[in-house]
Structure 1
Amino acid sequence: MARSKEFDIDHVLGKAMAIFWQQGYEKTSMQDLVTGMGIHKRSMYDTFGDKHTLFMKAMERYAEQVASRMEGRVADAPSAKAAIRLLLEATVYRQKEDPYGCLLVNTAVELSNHDPEAKDKVNFAFEGTERLLERLVRQGQASGEITSHLAAADLAAFLHNTFVGLRVLVKTLDKDSDKLQSIIDTTLAML
């Protein structure tokens, strides 16, 4: 007779995500995961597979949460430009809540050169963000608040680059929020 799980899979996956987010993939040991998740090693392997598979699942969960949060932020924005500002400013001000930066950006820096699956997961999530930005740019171009001299896809790529850059800078410029705000203001002025 098979035993039923004695833990909430979603809950322990959230714990694993937090551990990877704080420590990175390479620095996270199996013992860190077992201890932090509060489950037995055998249960972890039976439920999630190996460390890499668990990490991929944690990244998927993180990407889904971020995408949902971004969609929620822009849903009630009064304009496309205001929505873009909300996204950029949230990147800066979420640092207080997420002191480890962005798991996707951290993974891109740590693993993309030698882990094709991690690279693909990061790129998939980044493409989703870029599609959201392109949708907002198109709305702004249609209303006349964003220049139509450049293709919406090109502006979205530019904005995404700014977005990722802010996610990196926010980890090092935590005391210089004026500089981060200036980057946001300049980016929006260029639109």
Structure 2
Amino acid sequence: MTRSKEFDEREVLLKAMHLFWEKGYEKTSLQDLVTHMGIHRRSLYDTFGDKHSLFVKTMEQYDIQTNATIKAEVSRGRTAKQAIRFIFDYLIEVNDDRPLGCLFVNSATELGLRDPEVREMTNEGFNNEEKILVSLIQKGQQSGEIQSDKDTKILAASLQTTMIGLRVLARTFTDKKRLHQVADASIAILDV
């Protein structure tokens, strides 16, 4: 007879995600995961597979969670520039119990060169983020809010590069006023 799980799979996955996000893949041991998730080692293996499989699942969960939040907020009747401003503010003004920075950016810098699966996931995440920015810029160009004589993909890539930089700085640099100034300068490239 199979034993039923004595834990909420999503809840323990979120705990693992936060631990990987805070410590990184290499510095998170299996014992750290077992302790932090509050489950037995056997349950971890039976439910999530090995450490790498668990890590990949946490990245998938992070991607779903982040995209849902950003897409929901961006679609709340904001103008294109207001939506882009929201995304920058969201990256800077993290006020909950989340670790600093971004799990995807952290993972790309830690593992991207040597782990093809992580590289593919982070590249896909960055590409999806850029598509959101391209769509917002096109919306702003159609409404006359954003310069229409500039290439939307170049503008989106420039904004995204700043966003990635802000997520790196957010881990070590706590002057939010300065981070907002950097965001302002980046968003200014959209001015008509």
Q: Pick the TM interval, shorter chain.
A: over 0.9
> For the residues of structure 2 that align with 1:45 and 1:153, how far apart are their CA atoms?
42
> For the residues of structure 2 that align with 1:169 and 1:100, how far apart are their CA atoms?
9
SS in 1 for 2:32: helix
What are the within-5 Å matches in structure 2 for residues 38-117 of structure 1? 38-94=38-94, 97-117=97-117
Task: Report the alpha carbon displacement of residue 78 of structure 1 after superposing the two structures with TM.
Answer: 2.9
Q: Identity over the aligned pairs, expressed in percent?
A: 48
SS in 1 for 2:60: helix
- Contact map agreement 1:104 1:122 (CA 8 A) in 2: yes
Greater fraction helix? 1
- Contact map agreement 2:21 2:99 (CA 8 A) in 1: no
2:179 is matched with 180
CA RMSD of aligned residues (A): 1.4
Count of residues in Structure 1 that have an aligned counterpart in Structure 2: 190
Mind listing any 5+ residue stretches in structure 2 that lack a counterpart? none
TM-score w.r.t. length of structure 1: 0.94
> For the residues of structure 2 that align with 1:78 and 1:63, how far apart are their CA atoms?
23
1:34 is matched with 34
> Residue deviations 1:17-36, cap 9 Å, x none?
11111111000000011111
Worse-superposed segment, 108-117 or 88-97: 88-97
> For the residues of structure 2 that align with 1:15 and 1:97, how far apart are their CA atoms?
11
- Contact map agreement 1:112 1:118 (CA 8 A) in 2: yes
Task: Report the alpha carbon displacement of residue 95 of structure 1 after superposing the two structures with TM.
Answer: 6.1
| Residues 95 and 117 of structure 1, relative CA distance in 2, 3 Å threshold | farther
- Contact map agreement 1:95 1:170 (CA 8 A) in 2: no
Runs of 4 or more, structure 1, over 6 Å off, are none
Mind listing any 5+ residue stretches in structure 1 that lack a counterpart? none
| Residues 95 and 165 of structure 1, relative CA distance in 2, 3 Å threshold | farther
> Residue deviations 1:84-112, cap 9 Å, x none?
01111111111664342111111011111
